[in-house]
Amino acid sequence: MATRAATWTDPPADEAGVVAWLREMCDSGSIRHDPNGDWHIFGYADVLDALSNHAAFSNAVVGPPPEDSPMNLYRTGNLSWMDPPRHRQLRALVNRVFTPRYVAGLEPMVIATVEEFLDKIRSADRIAYVEEYAAPVVSTVIARMVGIPPGGTRLFRQWSKDLMALADPETTNDGLQTVFTNTQVIGLYLREFIQKRRRDPRDDLTSGLIAAEVDGERLDDAEIAGLIAHLLATGQAATLTLVNAVICLDQHPAATARLRSDPTLLGTTVEEVMRFRNQTTRLTRRTVEDVSIGGHVIPAGQSVSIWLAAANRDPRAFPDPDTFDIERAPNPHLALGHGIHYCLGTSLARMEIGIALDRLLRETRHFSVDYATSRLLDPRQMFGANEISLRVDWLDPR
């Protein structure tokens, strides 16, 4: 039988409390069954096992929103809400277009986009880091990759902001309604845009998805819209990692000094940020069959929380896990998932994060976070911030 916690409580709402709670849960039993009947997996080995076992742990029966939700605009083509064989079929089509060579070819555009938004903030000694830099860089890169014209790029930026609001504890019911309304707007926009690309193909990702074919099968408009929305939504991982990077560097000045003195550590720094401040605290799956894991049997039809943030702090997988070590290697973190649902835009996300963070470090003497005027997200859902007020000392202010 799985361990039942006599003093089980929901995670605290503050970051330090969540980290301590995750460690307590992990140390006292990797797999737990809470009083409400839900199952939880905390330990690294068992989390890895669950993410690898897509036959038993289904995402398709968890992910789709209620029938009346505007998010259903993207249900058809959203890889996050699929299991094999359909997931495998759509992934094969996307992989025909979204190749490593294709992503590498995006680097000049990513650099230009980063420079564009840096130029807008270089004269300010205090910036709204998410609003003015992290979020627009990521959403604009995705919009330009997809082929969205400038007017639509603004819609992408707004929807990116809306998605962040879903994890903001200060978001009201009216705010949620705004998110749903804007989701409908961008859904309709995407459908019209895809039709235009069918009539007039260009050298962009959308046209590539329209033309992609595997075994005589092509994507329809709803699937392409879902895939584009999926890319924008998963782009939040890049935005939140850029947010978490400045928080980590602000809170660990010795690591920041080390990185500034040796920029070759940028890659391992980004990976450690992902591990240390895992942007997605947990994933949810449902068992579709009885499954044996970690010495326990979880029956079919059970809701299972897979705690990525706990796995990434498991001392059995990471020596000294509560230390932010920018030279940690190897670093097999699970911040971007694992298995068939491993983040589609991983290589692009790492490129965006690396270039945006590198440019910020090279252009500044120092930066610091003003937490009093920043808004952190609910760490029970995501580590990050809806907004970061960043004090900046530029090397060459303009």
> In the block, which residue shows the tokens 């859904």?
187
Residue 262 makes CB contacts below 8 A (sequence gap 6+) with none
Buried-exposed string 210-232: b where 16+ CB fall within 10 A, e elsewhere: bebeeeeeebebbbbbbbbbbbb
Contacts 24+ apart (CB under 8 A), 333-337: 333/271, 333/274, 333/275, 333/278, 334/44, 334/47, 334/48, 334/51, 334/278, 334/308, 335/237, 335/241, 335/274, 335/275, 335/278, 335/279, 335/280, 335/308, 336/237, 336/274, 337/51, 337/283, 337/308
Domain ranges for the chain, please list them.
15-394
Cα of 66 vs its chain's centroid, Å: 22
Q: Is the bond leading into 85 cis (omega within 30 degrees of zero)?
A: yes
**pLDDT tens, per residue, the chain with 398 residues:** 444 333 444 678 889 999 999 888 888 788 999 888 889 999 999 999 999 998 899 877 655 566 666 566 556 666 666 666 676 777 777 777 778 898 999 999 999 999 999 999 998 999 999 999 999 999 999 999 999 998 888 888 887 777 777 666 677 777 778 878 888 888 889 999 999 999 999 999 999 989 988 778 888 898 888 888 888 877 888 999 999 999 999 999 999 999 999 999 999 999 999 999 999 899 889 999 999 999 999 999 999 999 999 999 999 999 999 999 999 999 999 998 876 555 667 889 999 999 999 999 999 999 999 999 999 988 888 899 989 999 999 998 76
- Return the closest-CA partner of residue 139 out of 152, 129, 128, 123: 152
Q: Is the bond leading into 330 cis (omega within 30 degrees of zero)?
A: yes
DSSP states along 63-107: SS--TT-GGGGGTTT-GGG--TTHHHHHHHHHHHHS-HHHHHTTH
The Cα–Cα gap between 20 and 23 comes to 5
The Cα–Cα gap between 291 and 46 comes to 12
* Predicted pLDDT of residue 7: 40
* Predicted pLDDT of residue 162: 77
> In the block, which residue shows the tokens 């995750």?
22
* Predicted pLDDT of residue 64: 58
- The token duo for 321 is 């896990």
What CATH number is given for 15-394 in this structure?
1.10.630.10
The Cα–Cα gap between 186 and 225 comes to 10
Helices 135-146/346-363 angle, 10° precision: 130
Q: How far apart are the first and last CA of the chain?
A: 64
* Predicted pLDDT of residue 396: 82
Strands 39-41 and 31-33: antiparallel
C-alpha R_g of the chain: 21
Half-sphere exposure of 211 (CA within 13 A, CB side): 14
